[in-house]
Structure 1
């Protein structure tokens, strides 16, 4: 993928890749809301945000809104972000979920909706991986990532030390652990670092169908967001 200077160029490059060769997309969902099924919905939120929330792929509600994480599970995530960073300007008013976009970057491993909400094959993820990596390493200025579900968490495994996570990654202990990863900064200019180090903090997927974790998810998310806030504050403290 050639080096791009603007986020709009990155989106256009992903769209060109989508048009280059066929892959499964839930086209009827796009057609119902008059969206181009080969136009990626790459992210929503702030590129200056301290935290990124990365999920697996888009759902029907996300396609309709043109934003990741806005369905049932996404609303739960947004509510948690708003609670972690309450708006002083709207104090005393009901929280607005769109305020979450001021404090987080929301994205997916693949910026398209698969048919039947089935997980994309690894071959499809590999095609669009460079664009997500470029988003996180080249445009987003934060360094803390919360992943939702196994597929989103495992997406980062090639960037772990040695290309593999440790044993805790395969157990429930991962929901209390952190995983350091290094994302390649592709086509770097003179003086640019070859890698960007990020911290991955996995969580289960917040789908209402995830009976084991759904009721626990808000508390787990709140704890992870407090970890992020604490880490950011410590990093900013010159002492």
Structure 2
């Protein structure tokens, strides 16, 4: 289910006043910096993936989880589904249509730095609506602290504390937690979050362990 013209325009209006967008990368690939990078994929997919923000390759191809970190995740996912690694880039890219993919903010920031809390709050209502209304699944794998704690934005104090405590627990990458999102129209949906570390080479603590952790998640969720 693609974005409606009204929904796309809502994103574009917010992005028009967004400082910190990596305009040179958008210009390099002749891409519109107001156009959101969202991979809605299959709205009926039981499993979705939620990350921090798009990178250079995501701008180039206009879809999330297509760069180096995303390729690591896609390789694990493709191998689970097909019994062998993807033969090429297009093979891994084919997974875009089979799952739900999204980020906290669908625009590439300068220097690949995480968007500020203010920016994430600005886009939170629109992204909430995508998770609640556009995607019919309920199982979501999150990548990294920023993506996981996005779900605490706008929540009551006790709920924020519950999510923050969960993230600090040593078994967070083997456990799951439920969280309820509500749109501005009052539509509610409960998701089960399965957090993982961010698949970045800069994340030396978890980078080498990431494929195995993701594989364990996928084996459990895609039986």
Identify whether the pair has TM-score above 0.5, normalized to the shorter chain.
yes
- Measured after TM superposition, the shift of residue 113 of structure 1 is 0.6
- Measured after TM superposition, the shift of residue 92 of structure 1 is 11
State the partner residue of 2:208.
215
State the partner residue of 1:127.
122
Go from structure 1 to structure 2 and tell me whether the alpha carbon gap of 1:22 and 1:109 turns closer, same or farther (over 3 Å shift).
Answer: closer
SS of residue in 2 equivalent to 1:46: coil
The answer to whether the 8 Å contact 1:79/1:100 transfers is no
State the partner residue of 1:12.
9
Go from structure 1 to structure 2 and tell me whether the alpha carbon gap of 1:6 and 1:39 turns closer, same or farther (over 3 Å shift).
Answer: closer
The runs of 5 or more residues in structure 1 that have no matched partner are 189-193, 231-239
Choose from 139, 147, 156 the match for 1:144.
139
State the partner residue of 1:84.
80
Go from structure 1 to structure 2 and tell me whether the alpha carbon gap of 1:113 and 1:80 turns closer, same or farther (over 3 Å shift).
Answer: same
Map 1:106-117 to 2 at 5 A. 106-117=101-112
State the partner residue of 2:44.
48
State the partner residue of 1:234.
none
Distance in 1, Cα, partners of 2:114 & 2:56: 14
Map 1:223-234 to 2 at 5 A. 223-230=216-223
**Runs of 4+ in structure 1 over 6 Å off:** none
The answer to whether the 8 Å contact 1:58/1:111 transfers is yes
TM-score in terms of structure 1 length: 0.83
- Measured after TM superposition, the shift of residue 162 of structure 1 is 3.5
State the partner residue of 1:171.
169
Report the structure number with the largest CA radius of gyration: 1
- Measured after TM superposition, the shift of residue 150 of structure 1 is 0.6
The answer to whether the 8 Å contact 1:145/1:200 transfers is yes
After superposition, give the CA deviation of every residue in 1:61-99 in whole Å (9 maximum; x if it has no partner).
111111111111100111122123228xxx998372023
After superposition, give the CA deviation of every residue in 1:87-127 in whole Å (9 maximum; x if it has no partner).
8xxx9983720232233211100000111111111111111
Distance in 2, Cα, partners of 1:209 & 1:115: 17
TM-score in terms of structure 2 length: 0.88
- CA RMSD after TM alignment: 2.4
Go from structure 1 to structure 2 and tell me whether the alpha carbon gap of 1:161 and 1:52 turns closer, same or farther (over 3 Å shift).
Answer: farther
Go from structure 1 to structure 2 and tell me whether the alpha carbon gap of 1:58 and 1:92 turns closer, same or farther (over 3 Å shift).
Answer: closer
The answer to whether the 8 Å contact 2:79/2:86 transfers is no
The runs of 5 or more residues in structure 2 that have no matched partner are none
Choose from 177, 181, 184 the match for 1:183.
181
Distance in 2, Cα, partners of 1:228 & 1:51: 8
